[in-house]
Structure 1
Amino acid sequence: MSIIVKNGALHVSGAEDKLRHKGIERPEFLKDYTLLDIETTGLSTYRNRVTEVGGIKVRNNEIVDKYTNLLIYSKSNKVPKFITKLNGITEEKIINEGIPVKEAMHDFREFIGDDVIVGYNVNFDLNFLYDLTKKFKLPELSNDYVDVLRLARVYYPRERHNRLIDCMQRANIAKVEQHRGLDDSIDTKKVYDDFREHFTPALLKRAQGKVKNINLVEDELEPWQIGYRNPINNKKIVFSGNIHMNADEAKKMVSNLGGENQKEVTPYTNYLIMGDHDFFRKDNSDLNKARDLIKTGAKIKRLSESFFLSMLDDWARS
């Protein structure tokens, strides 16, 4: 049994089926790849939708093909006003210009093929796309990937922000970001090429060294290994129900990542981690107690084991 981060990906004995089986991050400069970008209605794969997919296929560092489409859903195509203000995508535009999401995902998955994927903060995009390919029973999106954000953080280590637009402006590529799938894909390639031109072997080695490799259940970890942004740091946590992780190892992991294990739910509990099939049960005492405390103002977040592990995997890949 073990809970480890290997090449930036989380592995949990007994609970591997609850994780997205995405590829691993490969900080390097490729000449052949597919670069992609998506637009969504928000940040959560559980609550929000992909509104647009865009990508470019690159061979010998030249764009040889492009893909872009708005996605139509059967139930709702509403777009929050702040998203429309950001990228101009509206419900009317989706309905008039888009294609059904199943058709778009079939075409886009075929477009990506077996290529290594390149993108900016690309793990965000991969989570949404992975779930859609799984929903429509398409080939699993397990391609390895290059995250240009990783390169940006190494190249600009003293900058507070390293968004795509920041890199574009620093390299005089563009003054504004379009926030559209195809346009941002093309701009990301320009940033990637700028790094290709200016990176030294030492910088690239440093970027590769930033990909995490940690055993989360061994002896106490060093602060530099876990960072202050990990989702467990300073959190009080209760595990309840049918958890697939080994209970002792899960608690050891929480302790190693700067969290605190609690035996029972209290007003100060931050996360109640439930077995996936226990999440809506009415006979779980921890869940019922949490519901009562929430009514009185407690800020307890009830998370399924799958959601909790997804949070950890996102941190592992960051």
Structure 2
Amino acid sequence: MTGITNEMVAGMPSIMDVKDAVLSFIGSDIIVGHNTSFDMRFLNAGFNQELSNQYMDTMQFARKLYPDLKHHRLSDMTEYLGLSNNEHRSIADCISTKELYDAEKALMAEKGLKIEDLWSYGGGQSHRIDISSIVPVEEANADGFFDGRHVVFTGKLEKMIRKDAMQLVVNLGGVLDNTVNKKTNYLILGNNDYNAILHGEKSSKHKKAEQLKLEGQDIEIIDEFTFYDILKDEGAL
């Protein structure tokens, strides 16, 4: 997928070998990346600890600022905006992401947009749904990604009505809950909550999930667009 072969990384240090150096490098800085939540999950898993750094995601902003583009991968954005060539290598990715970050800031300044202008709240969507009324359309997929796993939603989804998203989870064998508890396996974070995270704020469900994960519970926090990627992989979208 990346073009990186086993031979290219033979003899290279493991992630635990560089853990201290990486943590020292990032310190308490805000992390900027493209599809950052995806990378953060790998770092958390590799380091066997939860990073507390706030982060922002140029992909999330790209989706808001360039809604007419079909895809918003880093390679798509660098090609569309004529930025430095993205080679899916560490330094090249950093340069491309920094240039995209600058381009997004410049476009927002040009249009007089603030972050809160991109992430509007409300929209008339009720978040309280009778989850007992959501049953599999057909026999639940016993091999589905969410089979037997307890799933909770928080925040307003940007591209899907929450009830429809819940239906797809149930069709894939998932069990819906209203609140995060000791049974919860996945918390799906509505993209609408992203603006609050930028200001260091998190929903009570989000905070509860992070606390349970620190205590060793098998629970993962999934952002909205990762959720859609899962649904696509499962053939549900």
1:271 counterpart (158, 162, 173) = 173
- The within-5 A match list for 1:250-289 is 257-259=165-167, 270-271=172-173
Would the aligned equivalents of 2:35 and 2:57 in 1 still touch at CA under 8 Å?
Answer: yes
| Counterpart for residue 315 of structure 1 | 224
Work out the CA distance in 2 between the residues paired with 1:180 and 1:211.
39
Is 1:148 the counterpart of 2:61? The answer is no
Q: Which amino acid aligns with 1:117?
A: I
Identity over aligned pairs, percent: 23
Q: Given residue 6 of structure 2, which amino acid in structure 1 is its aligned partner?
A: E
Q: Indicate conservation of the 8 Å contact 1:118/1:146, yes or no.
A: yes
- Counterpart residue number, 2:185: 306
- Partner in structure 1 of residue 118 of structure 2: 207
| CA distances 1:232-251 after superposition (whole Å, capped 9, x unpaired) | 99785899989798xxxxxx
TM-score by length of 1: 0.43
Q: 1:131 to 1:233 in 2, by over 3 A?
A: farther
Query: C-alpha distance in 1, partners of 2:169/2:14?
Result: 46
Structure 2 CA distance for partners of 1:244 and 1:315, relative to 1, 3 Å = closer
In the alignment, the residues of structure 1 paired with residue 9 and residue 74 of structure 2 have an alpha-carbon distance, to the nearest angstrom, of: 25
8 Å CA contact 1:237, 1:259 repeated in 2: no
Greater fraction strand: 1
Q: What letter corresponds to residue 182 of structure 1 in structure 2? A: I
Question: Does the Cα contact within 8 Å between 1:211 and 1:317 map onto a contact in 2?
Answer: no
* Residue identity opposite 1:90 in structure 2: T
Higher helix share: 2
**Is contact 1:255-1:261 (8 Å) kept?**
no
Root mean square deviation, CA, Å: 4.3
Alignment correspondent of 1:179: 88
Equivalents in 2 of 1:193, 1:211: separation in Å? 29
Q: Deviations over 1:74-106 (max 9, x none)?
A: xxxxxxxxx3xx33x22122123x113211122
Flag the structure with larger Rg: 1
Q: Does 2:77 correspond to 1:167?
A: yes
Query: Which SS does the other structure have where 2:56 is aligned?
Result: strand
The question of 1:118 aligning with 2:32 is answered yes
Contact 1:122/1:147 (8 A) holds in 2: yes
- 1:91 and 2:6 equivalent? yes
> In the alignment, is the contact (CA less than 8 A) between 2:129 and 2:163 conserved in 1?
no
CA distance, structure 2, for counterparts of residue 257 and residue 146 of structure 1: 25
Give, in whole Å, the separation in 1 of the partners of 2:113 and 2:136. Answer: 31
Does the 8 Å contact 2:28/2:53 carry over to 1? yes
Query: Is the contact between residue 154 and residue 203 of structure 1 (CA under 8 Å) also seen in structure 2?
Result: no
Whole-angstrom CA distance in 2 between matches of 1:261 and 1:122: 24
Deviations 1:23-64 (A, max 9, x none): xxxxxxxxxxxxxxxxxxxxxxxxxxxxxxxxxxxxxxxxxx
In the TM superposition, residue 209 of structure 1 has moved relative to its aligned partner by: 2.9
Residue ranges of structure 2 left out of the alignment (5+ in a row):
153-161, 176-182, 189-218, 228-237
Structure scoring higher RCO (CA < 8 A, sep ≥ 6) equals 1
